[in-house]
Chains A and B, each alone.
Chain A
């Protein structure tokens, strides 16, 4: 069972791949601090990626 739950945590590593779906954010409005959507959404993916990797680091143990 533990092995299975460790594997599921690793699926989180695929979440940042969403940044490849450009139509999600390829627009100008609404702007945040003057940044078009295209830019602030991609900046938000940096902390999102960090959270995903950090959770896998903490939860998935050291095997594999």
Chain B
């Protein structure tokens, strides 16, 4: 395959533009010093409504979403549309807890969700569990951004074999790593404006032009229906079947509950200036959900347009992530395809930067400072975080290079299941301290162990894999210490949700037992009033580095 020069040139120009912005960001809205985590890791904690909208939008609606959700629709049909109810549910669910987290974090100067857990329960063990879970769940998420970026690069013709085939990806990531190192969270915040501008432009053009070219939405849905009816698989189709409705429901709800447990989502929220900024954003962010829903339907447009995914020269297999780039390539003039590729590519850089910063903050605050170097100065903390952000990024590159991209998607699946297991420690703790520290630890161990065991046992007949073949658990296989409550049922459910129920049940039982035995439950450094403080309250901890 030859390189598509027009597309590559436009991609390169836009990439250079955002690189310039990334380095310039160090000086944008700058405080007194960048040598403090409040500045480097949270952008000075003073982003207003607009910046926050672009930042969190850029953070949650990632390149992977733009590439993989339509690819799932292309392959499996209605099941892939779970992304829409998922993003419908997330804002009403997190609206109240998130402002409480913002307030308590500003009163005590928390940078990460694990900082909050440490303050709430006074337990370094619990904070360490939250930090490790966060880092482990984030790494494959970054790797998936790379998979999205690489899908675009390969579609442009940079589809080399072997290690050299990853070179364009590697170069893009070194540049990203450098400006994130220098500018911290301000870099993705500034670049997010470009990313979202491009994404909106591309999607508006696509939803107007594609149906016009392909005979209207009606015939697009009919083409998808014809394709799924022709296949032997019973679970696909443009509507849900009898067995996957529970999977659809639990996947949407479980993903919505998990989203703001991810460290990068918390980082975006804590960087905002006030509770009002967060609340306004909970109202305004669903604008992205409409875009996501329309993008998902492009998977059907690709069916109607007879789009074929390209073969990844590094693995020798068809890469379903290239379906949407190939749709743009086939249906639009080259210059516009170039803009679309840049939108997806830059859409990978923004969340990758935020995720690596969030993981670096967790490492620095809750592992380095808590265990390795207790009396680290703020400058040492900041330097440690910058270095950690590099390590995290190159770890993610290594994941992509060493492991088949297909396998990286499975890692992401595991990430979602395990981050959900921190719900009782973080989200429920915002409201009540009823749970006992060791009850939470026991629940985490059981939820994690059970979730991973269930994932291990799920085969994927389509790809011929024995283990980690998906997140849909047939309830028939569900066994609670040998007892099979749903034996014979073909209904499927999302593993993360099932494991969370196990987690909560154990946490409740152990908590009741420990309360009976009157085992001490540590000290709470927070007061009920801390969760209600708004911007301007004298109780807020001053942000370091702010010029007065």
Contact = CB atoms under 8 A, between A and B. Distances in A.
A23 B219 CA distance: 24
Contact of B89 (A17, A22, A26, A63): A17
Q: Which of A15, A22, A35 has the most CB of B within 10 A?
A: A22
Contact of A64 (B218, B289, B532): B532
A15 B89 CA distance: 10
B239 A62 contact: no
A62 B240 CA distance: 40
A64 B88 contact: no
Contacts of A13: 92-93, 95-96
Contacts of A26: 239-240, 245
Contacts of B283: 50, 53-54, 57
Contact of A28 (B81, B85, B239): B239
A53 B293 CA distance: 20
B484 to A, nearest CB: 25
Contact of A42 (B88, B91, B100, B282): B88
Interface in B90-122: 91-93, 95-96, 100
Given A13-B95, A31-B218, A20 B85 contact: yes
Nearest to A60: B96
B285 to A, nearest CB: 9
Contacts of B219: 34
A20 to B, nearest CB: 5
B95 A56 contact: yes
B292 to A, nearest CB: 9
Nearest to A45: B88
B92 A23 contact: no
B252 to A, nearest CB: 7
A57 B279 contact: yes
Contacts of B218: 31, 33-34
Nearest to A54: B283
B220 A28 contact: no
B532 A62 contact: yes
Nearest to A23: B245
A33 B217 contact: yes
Contacts of B531: 64
Given A34-B216, A34-B218, A34-B220, A43 B240 contact: no
A36 B433 CA distance: 46
A6 to B, nearest CB: 12
B252 A53 contact: no
B92 A52 contact: yes
B192 interface: no
A52 B81 CA distance: 22
Given A28-B238, A35-B221, A57 B88 contact: no
Contacts of A31: 218, 221
A57 B282 contact: yes
B252 A20 contact: yes
Contact of A53 (B221, B275, B282): B282
Q: Which of B84, B88, B96 has the most CB of A within 10 A?
A: B88
Contacts of A23: 245
Contact of B221 (A10, A16, A34, A56): A34
Contacts of A50: 283, 286
Given A23-B245, A63-B532, A49 B217 contact: no
B286 A49 contact: yes
A27 B91 CA distance: 26
B290 A46 contact: yes
Interface string B275-310: 100011011001001100100010000000000000
B40 interface: no
Interface in A36-52: 36, 38-39, 42-43, 45-50, 52
B248 interface: yes
B522 to A, nearest CB: 24
A19 B297 contact: no
Interface string A1-32: 00000000010011111011011001110010
Contacts of B211: 34
Contacts of B85: 19-20, 42, 45
B537 to A, nearest CB: 11
Nearest to A21: B249
Contacts of B81: 38-39, 42
B88 A46 contact: yes
The 6 closest A-B pairs by CB, nearest first: A34-B218, A34-B217, A13-B92, A19-B85, A22-B245, A45-B88
26 contacts: A10-B96, A13-B92, A17-B92, A19-B89, A19-B252, A20-B253, A22-B245, A22-B249, A27-B239, A28-B238, A34-B216, A34-B219, A34-B221, A35-B221, A38-B81, A39-B221, A39-B293, A42-B293, A46-B286, A46-B290, A53-B92, A54-B283, A57-B95, A62-B275, A62-B532, A64-B100
Given A17-B89, A46-B290, A64-B96, 14 more contacts: A10-B96, A13-B93, A15-B92, A16-B88, A28-B239, A39-B297, A49-B88, A49-B91, A50-B286, A52-B92, A53-B92, A57-B279, A62-B275, A64-B100
